[in-house]
Structure 1
Amino acid sequence: MRFYMNNDRGFTLVEVLASLVILSIVLTSFTVVFANTNRLAVSNNEKLVVINLADAYLERVKANPSEFITPFPPTIQNASKGKVQSSFEMNSKKYKVTIKISQTTDEFNKLSLLNVVVTVNSETSKHKSSVEGYVPYD
């Protein structure tokens, strides 16, 4: 047993300092990676909120077009080229919702459609999403 423990000196100060420097470099790199991952996750969450909010507003226009389009159905003189803007707050962040409606007619099938473009801007960040859909009218 004594054969294995013949060195009782321990570690020198230089060895301890070198190991602390190496350990701190490794831990600092992990901290930077975790901080960047957290920042990216928050940014992606904001993007998902903007995309889903735009989709939800487009579905609201499809479900009840008379809420957003006045008069409904639009007349030829009106041409329905208005922009409906509203502000929406979710998770203590404000979003600006813009609904742009333009009238189109399909010459081949004689269908009358309203082209609806919903754009959502985040007021706190630079995230923006836009979706487009069509609403039929007679």
Structure 2
Amino acid sequence: MWYLTKNERGFTLVEVLASLVILSIVLMSFMAVFANTNRLAVSNSEKLVVINLADAYLERVKANPSEFISPFPPTKVNESKGKALNSFEMNNKKYKVTIKVTQTADEYNKFTLLNIVVTVNSESSKHKSSVEGYIPYE
């Protein structure tokens, strides 16, 4: 009867510990990949917010320039050097919007273009975006 117990095979303690170490190394590498992917997704999301805010503000300036440009139309003396609007908060993060206005004269059509540059800075991170557009006026 002793030959029945001899044939029972199992794992030794060393084999179990070695397999646990290998398994933990593999799982730790996956956790590092997931953490890095999450950090990158948050950063990309913040970049998209900044870009979309800059585009939205440029469209608001184009739709109603007198709200953002004072006096409208500006004279060469009153050209904006980068008028900073108040910081505002969205998604529990603060952003600062700067609108810069310069003029270019078109001699052929006899009207002037206002060059509008909208810059949005995220105060909580280093993300920044600028967009440029033109507003014609006579």
TM-score by length of 1: 0.90
Q: Which amino acid letter does the alignment assign opposite residue 75 of structure 1?
A: T
User: Distance in 1 between the 2:41 and 2:132 partners?
Assistant: 27
User: Distance in 1 between the 2:132 and 2:64 partners?
Assistant: 16
User: Distance in 2 between the 1:108 and 1:13 partners?
Assistant: 89
Percent identity of paired positions between Structure 1 and Structure 2: 80
User: Distance in 2 between the 1:119 and 1:106 partners?
Assistant: 25
User: Distance in 1 between the 2:76 and 2:53 partners?
Assistant: 31
Post-superposition Cα deviations, 1:18-56, rounded to whole Å, max 9, x if no partner, equal 100110000000000000000000000000000000000
Q: Name stretches of at least 5 consecutive residues in structure 2 with no aligned partner.
A: 1-5
Partner of residue 83, structure 1: 82
The structure where helix makes up a greater share of residues is 2
Q: Which amino acid letter does the alignment assign opposite residue 85 of structure 1?
A: A
* Cα drift, residue 88 of structure 1: 1.8
Partner of residue 129, structure 1: 129
* Cα drift, residue 77 of structure 1: 4.1
Partner of residue 62, structure 2: 62
Q: Name stretches of at least 5 consecutive residues in structure 1 with no aligned partner.
A: 1-5
After the TM superposition, which residues 32-51 of structure 1 pair with which residues of structure 2 at under 5 Å, given as runs? 32-51=32-51
How many residue pairs are counted as aligned between the two chains? 132
C-alpha RMSD of matched pairs (Å):
1.4
Partner of residue 3, structure 1: none
- Name the SS of the counterpart of 2:31 in structure 1: helix
After superposing on structure 2, the runs of 4+ consecutive aligned residues of structure 1 that deviate more than 4 Å are none
The answer to whether structure 1 residue 9 and structure 2 residue 13 are counterparts is: no
User: Distance in 1 between the 2:135 and 2:11 partners?
Assistant: 78
Instruction: Say if 1:18 and 1:77 are closer, same or farther in 2 by CA, change over 3 A.
Output: closer
TM-score by length of 2: 0.90
